[in-house]
Amino acid sequence: MSFQKPKGTQDLLPGVVERWQFIEEKAREVCRRFLYREIRTPIFESTELFQRGVGETTDVVEKEMYTFLDKGDRSMTLRPEGTAGVVRAYVENKLYGDPDVTKLFYIGPMFRYEQPQAGRYRQFHQFGIEAFGATDPSLDAEVIALGYQFYEAIGLKGFTLELNSVGTPASRAAFREKLLAFLEPKREVLCKDCRSRMERNPLRVLDCKVDQQHFEGAPSLLDNLDEESAAHFEQVKAHLDAMGIAYTINPKLVRGLDYYTHTAFEFKAAGIGSIDTIGGGGRYNGLVAEIGGPDQPGIGFGIGLERVLLVLEKQGVELPAAVSPEVYFVALGEAAEAKIVTLLNEARRRGIVAEKDYGGRKMKAQLKSADRLSARYAAILGDDELARGEIVLKSLADGEQQTVPLDGLMDRLLEG
């Protein structure tokens, strides 16, 4: 019997995983500059958390969650997104007791049962941030700026930012009636999903990728914001303008999750087929209370790392490859082999990337292995050299050789 990875998943092999490490480190580096601290939450949570936190009328909850009963007959779900779990941790661990804004980030796998395609997997990975405790529009702009700086740090080109305000639950309720009046005459020409959403969550209709041609002239939520929401949105735009961050207003942008209020945004980039969204988020001022905590405001984003990597590849951005050894130790003889083991360990302890042969092969085969690994030097030790307290250091770029004292080898390697 042979086994294969589950549909919609991937093996991240050596030679590829280094690209992931690069963008993850860039994410951590940017978060450090903004004073966001890492949080790690469980990969599975109570199903009810996502039903309440994400919204029962969303496609995520209705169609895409990996849900199962555990041995205690409890309904559990592999996390389909990061925010709900972070909010649960924020509430359960009483992080809201901190008088300052709580700023958190996460990097990890998410799970959604959907049809795999370019940039979309059933197990995928997100980098996300969440900030709790302030309604200040400058925090909205900061969250967007952090995402913007992340894309710049990894070398992404040509990405764009789309911006909208989805107002408050009260302003959306009033807008809902206007939108339904516009959509009702078009019901029969809309797709099955849109007809269903009209009954349960009409704002999601505007997010449909199939029926956009039918929405020309639709009422705009931006034209129906309450005074507070409109003022908040104007200040967010003013902060982004002051930072020099370009954006486009998209009145149809509502995001796919129910918890958003006020600011909503998406980052987009070409290169991944029909899917062009590479990240997005917004404000969710009622979510903490919905999940059982105090009425604390929040805002955040999630960035799909598979999609980002795919766009970087399409753009030809060169990412770090596998690490090459500084030195490859070649032993000739039993006594030399014993000494090489000691030298190898010493090199690694001093921060030098080093390797040796483990197959007892002849010198020619060992040197070929050093070449395959793109080692900078081969350090060749035979029993005669060992007796003299010396070792031959060969540059694999030009073949130049020099003999150095064994007790000075590490210093010589550290000099470069």
Q: What are phi and psi of 367, to 5 degrees?
A: -65, -35
Q: For 301-338, what is each residue's pLDDT tens digit? A: 999 999 999 999 999 999 887 889 999 999 999 999 99
* 47-51, 84-88, 139-143, 267-271: the lowest-pLDDT one: 267-271
* Residue 256 confidence (pLDDT): 60
Q: Say which residue, 203 or 234, is predicted with more confidence.
A: 234
Q: What is the mean pLDDT of residues 11-18?
A: 93
Mean pLDDT (the chain, rounded):
91
Q: For 335-363, what is each residue's pLDDT tens digit? A: 999 999 999 999 999 999 999 999 999 99
Contacts of 396 (CB under 8 A, 6+ apart): 367, 370, 371, 375, 376, 377, 378
Strands 44-46 and 75-78: antiparallel
What's the rounded Cα separation, in Å, for the pair 224 and 98?
36
* Residue 361 confidence (pLDDT): 92
Indicate if the pLDDT at residue 257 is higher than 70.
no
* Residue 344 confidence (pLDDT): 97
What's the rounded Cα separation, in Å, for the pair 222 and 216?
15
Indicate if the pLDDT at residue 57 is higher than 60.
no
Indicate if the pLDDT at residue 253 is higher than 90.
no
Tokens representing residue 374 in the block: 């793109």
What's the rounded Cα separation, in Å, for the pair 206 and 211?
8
Q: Which of 29-33, 186-190, 202-206, 288-292 has the highest mean pLDDT?
A: 29-33
Q: Residues 53, 45: contact at Cβ < 8 Å?
A: no
Fold assignment, 17-168+226-314: BirA Bifunctional Protein; domain 2 (3.30.930)
Q: To the nearest whole percent, how much of the chain has pLDDT over 70?
A: 96
Give the helix ranges, DSSP H, for 45-82.
Answer: 47-54, 59
Q: Map tokens 């496609």 to a residue.
A: 59
What's the rounded Cα separation, in Å, for the pair 49 and 87?
10
Contacts 24+ apart (CB under 8 A), 366-372: 366/328, 366/330, 367/330, 367/396, 369/328, 370/325, 370/328, 370/330, 370/396, 371/396
What's the rounded Cα separation, in Å, for the pair 299 and 308?
22
Q: What is the mean pLDDT of residues 105-113?
A: 96
* Residue 62 confidence (pLDDT): 66
* Residue 59 confidence (pLDDT): 65
Q: Tell me yes or no: is domain 327-415 CATH 2.40.50.100.
A: no
Q: How far is CA 288 from CA 78, 291, 410, in A?
A: 20, 5, 55
Helix, strand or coil, per DSSP, at residue 279: strand
- If pLDDT is split at 50, 70 and 90, which confidence band does 55 have? low
Beta-bridge mates of residue 267? 161, 279
Indicate if the pLDDT at residue 204 is higher than 80.
no
Strands 327-332 and 354-356: parallel
Sequence ranges of the chain with CATH classification 3.40.50.800 = 327-415
Contacts of 392 (CB under 8 A, 6+ apart): 379, 380, 381, 385, 401, 402, 403
* Residue 196 confidence (pLDDT): 77
Beta-bridge mates of residue 40? none
Beta-bridge mates of residue 125? 109
Q: What is the mean pLDDT of residues 202-224?
A: 79
Sequence ranges of the chain with CATH classification 3.30.930.10 = 17-168+226-314
Q: In what order do the strands lie in the sheet with 102-111?
A: 37-38, 102-111, 123-132, 298-304, 277-283, 261-268, 160-165, 248-249
**How many CB atoms neighbour CB 111 within 10 A?**
20
Closest-CA residue to 260 (of 203, 211, 181, 322): 203
* Residue 194 confidence (pLDDT): 82
Contacts of 395 (CB under 8 A, 6+ apart): 376, 377, 401
* Residue 77 confidence (pLDDT): 96
Indicate if the pLDDT at residue 179 is higher than 60.
yes
- If pLDDT is split at 50, 70 and 90, which confidence band does 133 have? very high
* Residue 248 confidence (pLDDT): 96
